[in-house]
Amino acid sequence: MKETLQNLRRQAADLLEKKEVALVIGWEPGSDIARTTPFFAAAPDEASRLTWGPFCANGLVKYLLDYRYGTEKLAVAARGCDMRAVNRLVQDRQFPRERVVVLGLPCAGILDRAKVLPRFTPGAKLLEVADRGDTYLVRTDLDGEKAFPKAEFLEPRCLECEQNVPEGADRLLGPAVASPALPGIDRFGDVAALEALDPAAKSAFWDRYFTRCLRCYACRNICPACNCKECAFEQAVPGWQQDARWISKATTLSENYTFHLIRMFDVAGRCIDCGECERVCPVNIPLRKLYRKVLKDARELFAAPTPGKAPDAVLPMVTFAENDREEFM
């Protein structure tokens, strides 16, 4: 892991030194030991601020959209799930592949900050992280070395990891590592359990979560599949339709249902299942269950793989075949 970090810094400095890219998008240490924040290196000497390890939770690919109307070339650090996000933006024609250099990082799983942070003394500084297969060893200046078994301390999305090596990256910066996915895990088991509930129980389940939704739009803003320049939920409609809106600003249960269900159908066949929506939700709504429902349906109806796994994959919701079933007609 230490060698991979040094390689990331070397590659970033080299790209910036040769002016092959204008920016390298990566992570830097954050305000506490278990937090990193996105960092945009613009000069070779800034590459030394980059970091890599099991606390790099943020997906970075969405930041490419801030530069989609420019001409400069950018580099972005990407894990396996992030590679699906790159392919998503390319397939949606939101960012040309030739304008991005993908710095691939084989990922052994991201530690769940909420579980890990309480184990450290406040103010402790991170000295080293070592990957021991099924356990991360984290050494700090105040706590010495602590062991975190992955099965207990990884983010839930990592325990269901489908792709931990960024296939298709321009530069792979470290050796392949074992997938953090739990052996034999049923990735759609919780979705199937929800499907088995009767309608009243399903409604009660989502009522409990959607009632607390703030409509902060963090789930939309972080999502690589939500890449419209102007979101329909905030669009000001001119002319005779003025004041028309899909939803109001009120965060009522019915309005929240409308927002989440429209978004669910909008990303059907395009959601890459990176889990970023659920990670950034400030009120802990289990949004992956919602989007994996349509992912599961797309698999069963169209044998569709997880979107973004292959840059040239056929998208099921934008492709017509004469033998498609048409129950809705």
pLDDT digits (tens, 9 = 90+) for 36-67: 999 999 999 999 999 999 999 999 999 999 99
Question: What does the pLDDT average to over 117-143?
Answer: 92
Ramachandran angles phi, psi of 84, nearest 5°: -65, -35
pLDDT at 20 (0 to 100) = 97
Q: Is the predicted pLDDT of residue 246 greater than 70, yes or no? A: yes
Question: Which ranges of the chain does DSSP label H, i.e. alpha helix?
Answer: 2-17, 80-91, 113-116, 150-153, 156-159, 189-195, 199-210, 218-222, 253-266, 276-280, 287-302
> Mean per-residue pLDDT for 157-178?
93
Q: Is the per-residue pLDDT at 240 higher than 60?
A: no
Q: How sure is the predictor about 243, in pLDDT bands with cuts at 50, 70 and 90?
A: low
Please tell me the distance from the alpha carbon of residue 324 to that of residue 74, in angstroms, as a whole number. 40
DSSP secondary structure code for residue 192 in this structure: H
What pLDDT is attached to residue 239?
A: 59
> Which of 307, 233, 283 shows the shortest CA–CA distance to 263?
233
- Does the structure show a pLDDT above 80 at 128? yes
Q: Is the pLDDT of residue 114 over 60?
A: yes
Beta strands across the sheet bearing 23-29: 36-41, 23-29, 74-78, 100-104, 171-172
| Residue 46 main-chain phi, psi, to 5 deg | -85, -10
Residue 98 has pLDDT above 90, yes or no: yes
What b/e sequence results for 158-184 when a residue is b if at least 16 CB atoms lie within 10 Å of its CB, and e otherwise? bbbbbbbbbebbeebbbeebebbbeee
**Residue 315 pLDDT level (bands cut at 50, 70, 90):** confident
Picking from 108-112, 138-142, 261-265, 300-304, which range would have the lowest pLDDT averaged per residue?
Answer: 300-304
Judge whether residue 327 has pLDDT over 80. no
Identity of the residue numbered 298: A
CB–CB of 129/136 below 8 Å? yes
Please state the rounded mean pLDDT for residues 213-233.
90
For the chain, what percent of residues have pLDDT higher than 70?
A: 96
Work out the number of other CB atoms within 10 angstroms of the CB of residue 153: 21
Total-model pTM? 0.89
Q: Please check whether residue 306 is in contact with residue 296, taking contact to mean a CB–CB distance below 8 angstroms.
A: no
Residue type, 60: L
Contact 90, 309 (CB under 8 A): no
CA 270 to chain centre: 13
Q: Tell me if residue 127 falls in helix, strand or coil.
A: strand
CA distances to 10, 28, 86, 213 from 53, in Å: 16, 10, 20, 31
* Three-state SS at 129: strand
